[in-house]
């Protein structure tokens, strides 16, 4: 069998009915029941019925995406799927990777992720922060453009804009205060970016404005039991594999207000001898990024029984 990695998607890949393709698979039903007990609400109903507006609230999106990724993982294992050589997750997806690795139980991870979402939403009032995807520009030029935009404000200004998600060589997401993000979009387009698209999000995730949320999260992480990983997990913030519980906690704390170094994560996955990266959970966003990051790698998605069968065939 080929050496492969599993990666888990984060916020943005959610959709009403995203688990319907699995039907009444017992692993999916069991995962929904476990998460519902942990959160004190019917998670399955929210995922199946929506509405989209409710599912897209950060405080709901983060736990439901965790649940969707873990459900797909459990189906894979129950259907005889082999263990991957390495795991990773994009932003929030790192928590699903840690559950798959055995570091966190779903019963512990779900309330932790819900707390993370609430802290992030409360850190910056809705409408005062923003994020935008910058397309068709080298990451270093995006960083320089953000610095140029921020420097255009008065000295001592609270306006801030930073490069926060390095998704592929030609797609970098920026985040910060609304005025600074708008200014950066203007500067970056003038400097040659193909497009600058404001994202429909409610907070400037992974920017330094999330530091207050991270400080709240730090205490919650300290109170949560972590076990040694059974499968290596490459983290977003340092692009390293950690085995020590306190180092894993610290990486999750810093990830809340630091960049998602996804291009480097995929490159690090390759160093484990992997040639196929499987996106475990709803959507095909991460699978699509794989080829754009490294043409020698193969990306695949697993989100229903048919795609699971395809992945098994691909890896045989």
> CA-CA distance, 254 to 246, in Å (whole number)?
12
The verdict on whether 206 is a catalytic residue reads yes
| Annotation marks residue 91 as catalytic | yes
**Length of the chain in residues, anyone?**
316
- Residue 34 CA to residue 213 CA, distance in Å, equals 26
Contacts of 250 (CB under 8 A, 6+ apart): none
Taken in order 40, 41, 47, 48, is the CA torsion positive or negative? positive
35-to-21, 153, 288 alpha-carbon distances in Å = 19, 45, 29
Catalytic residue among 25, 206, 207, 301: 206
**Contact at 8 Å (CB) between 250 and 157?**
no
Distance of alpha carbon 12 from the chain centroid: 9
What angle separates helix 211-222 from helix 106-123, to the nearest 10 degrees? 160
User: Phi, psi (5° rounding) for residue 196?
Assistant: -135, 105
Please tell me which residue in 13, 25, 56, 91 is annotated as part of the active site: 91
Active site residues: 91, 206
């Amino acid at each position: 069998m080929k050496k492969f990695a599993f990666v888990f998607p984060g916020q943005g890949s959610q959709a009403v009915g995203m688990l319907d393709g699995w039907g009444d698979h017992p692993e999916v039903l069991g995962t929904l029941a476990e998460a519902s007990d942990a959160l004190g609400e019917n998670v399955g109903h929210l995922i199946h019925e929506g509405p989209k507006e409710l599912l897209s609230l950060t405080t709901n999106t983060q736990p439901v995406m965790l649940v969707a990724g873990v459900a797909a993982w459990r189906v894979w294992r129950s259907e005889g799927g082999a263990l991957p050589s390495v795991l990773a997750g994009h932003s929030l997806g790192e928590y699903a990777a840690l559950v798959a690795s055995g570091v966190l139980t779903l019963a512990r991870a779900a309330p932790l992720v819900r707390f993370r979402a609430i802290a992030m939403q409360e850190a910056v009032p809705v409408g005062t922060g923003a994020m935008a995807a910058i397309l068709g520009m080298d990451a270093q030029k995006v960083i320089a453009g953000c610095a140029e935009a921020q420097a255009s404000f008065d000295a001592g200004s609270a306006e801030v804009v930073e490069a926060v998600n390095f998704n592929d060589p030609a797609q970098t997401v920026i985040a910060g205060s609304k005025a600074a993000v708008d200014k950066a979009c203007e500067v970056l387009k003038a400097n040659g970016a193909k497009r600058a698209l404001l994202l429909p999000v409610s907070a400037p995730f992974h920017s330094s404005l999330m530091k207050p949320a991270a400080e709240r999260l730090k205490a919650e992480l300290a109170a949560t039991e972590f076990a040694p990983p059974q499968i290596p997990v490459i983290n977003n913030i340092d692009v390293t594999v950690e085995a020590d519980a306190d180092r894993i906690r610290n990486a999750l704390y810093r990830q809340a207000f630091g960049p998602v170094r996804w291009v480097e994560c995929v490159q690090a996955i390759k160093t484990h001898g992997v040639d196929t990266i499987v996106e475990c959970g709803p959507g095909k966003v991460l699978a699509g990024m794989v080829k754009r990051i490294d043409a020698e790698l193969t990306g695949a998605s697993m989100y229903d029984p048919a795609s699971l069968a395809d992945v098994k065939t691909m890896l045989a």
